[in-house]
Structure formats: C-alpha cells, structure tokens
Amino acid sequence: MQIKTNDMVEVIAGDDRGARGKVLKVDAAAGKVTVEGINRVYKHVRRSQRNPQGGRLSMEMPVQAANVLLVCRACGKATRTGARRLDDGTKQRFCKKCGAENGQIAPPKARYAKK
C-alpha cells in the first residue's frame, strides 16, 4: 500500500466522493485507511465515570484504500502513484500524471544501487 499517515487523499467512491482529507491511520493488513472528516458515524455511549453525560459521539470509520487516491503535492490533483528506484537504491513514490516525487517508500539498499 502506497498511502501513508499524514498524506492528503481524495475519496473516489461512496457517500463522501470528491472530499479531501488527511490520513489519520493506515491498516495495511485490512486494506483500510481512516481519513479526517470522512465516513463519519455516530457511536452511542452509555453514561459512565469517563463519560458522565453519555450521548452520541461522532467519529471517523475506516474506508477501503482502493476508494481513495493520493493528492499530488506538485500538481494538486488526485492521481495514481507508481514506485521507482533511484540510483542510490532508494524506493520512492511518484505521480503518474506529472511525474513528481511524492515521498520515500523504502530506505536505500545496496543491492539496488547502480554501480
């Protein structure tokens, strides 16, 4: 999965289609991401010592990672991403629309470095 925490993403499917938000949490095993302000639901809580009033709490729930696209830092558009290796062996993400670099995925590895 090439989406990381603190990335800006745009929702491409569902009720919140077209909305943008910051990624709060990534669950790679389940293939889901939690995005700020997206897929909000009400959780009803009973009165307790921790929450003396009780009531409804509004919270974000995870969405499928396939339903979001990374927003490119350079061109500002929601785009698919690719992965490429640099000459020093570093793996990085890049925008498929403009070709700009969008962050590092893996640190440099000697076996992938060009000699």
pLDDT one-digit tens code per residue, 26-55: 999 999 999 999 999 999 999 999 889 999
Give the model's confidence band at 114: pLDDT under 50 very low, under 70 low, under 90 confident, else very high: confident
Average pLDDT estimate for 72-89: 92
By the 8 A CB rule, do 15 and 3 touch? Answer: no
Give the model's confidence band at 1: pLDDT under 50 very low, under 70 low, under 90 confident, else very high: confident
By the 8 A CB rule, do 38 and 19 touch? Answer: yes
Domain ranges (residues) in the chain: 1-71, 76-115
Q: What is the CATH number of domain 1-71?
A: 2.30.30.30
Mean pLDDT of the chain: 93
By the 8 A CB rule, do 3 and 70 touch? Answer: yes
